[in-house]
Structure 1
Amino acid sequence: MTPSSPGVSARMSRQASKDTAVELAVRRLLHAAGLRYRVEYPVPGLPRRRIDVAFPRAKVAVLIDGCFWHGCPQHATRPKANAEWWRTKLERNMARDRETTERLLAAGWTVLRFWEHEAPEGVAVQVAAAVQRRRPERTRGKNK
């Protein structure tokens, strides 16, 4: 199956898949809070899959999903043109999201998924708290 028209295909291919406004806002807030992270970090064992914002030492993965592409229960829409093609495409996206989450959890990561419509400030607070909980204790310089 193919998209309904070359115009639709071209328009959809221009949609940002990384460095979206929400991702940038969250990253700015995390950086301002003193947290350092990796961007577009590879998902272990799953080629071509990336973690939007990763804290590898703490094993915290932050994924910010677009409402349309990932099936937000509040904001997802279903295109009427070429409906079957889009239904298949979006269901595949959601299945891939579940598989990615399962793989990361099995590898010992904390997985935090957020929707693009969530306030960056609230996302950053939740991420910072998770990183703090998972950060390895530093024992350097302490008597054992």
Structure 2
Amino acid sequence: MGRSDMTEFRNPDAVARMRADFARQGAMSAMGITVADVAPGRVVLEMPFNADFSQHHGFMHAGVITSGMDSACGFAAFTLMEAEAEVLTVEFKCNFMAPAKGAQFRFEGEVVKSGRTLTFTEGRAVALDGDAAVTVATMTATMMAVRGLKP
């Protein structure tokens, strides 16, 4: 994945705000997705396998994988936004490379380029099973800084 050259948060309260916004997402809570790591321009989320979110072959559903990557990318972008900004997804593209089969899933989002309004990100979904780690999907996504939006 590409890596932002940003090494500092633009907003000193970015991590606290990101965690608070993440905690208000009912979808993430319902799917059991949690925040594992936050750094400037990078967010890692985790989720245990849950058969309630599987598809008809028993793999994690593509919509769940996409949701995890979208949130990881969006919050990675958010960590580099100014204090008055909120984040919304503008567009994304996903590629699924392997069945989403694993005991746990990791969703990594990373900023490629951060601008005042648009931020370009890349994401990856990794299935974990014991010592095995398989990248099952990738994402490219554009995020938008929105001002004046109440959370």
Q: Which has a greater percent of helix?
A: 1
Greater Rg, structure 1 or structure 2? 1
TM over 0.5: no
Q: TM-score, normalised by structure 2?
A: 0.28
Q: TM-score, normalised by structure 1?
A: 0.29
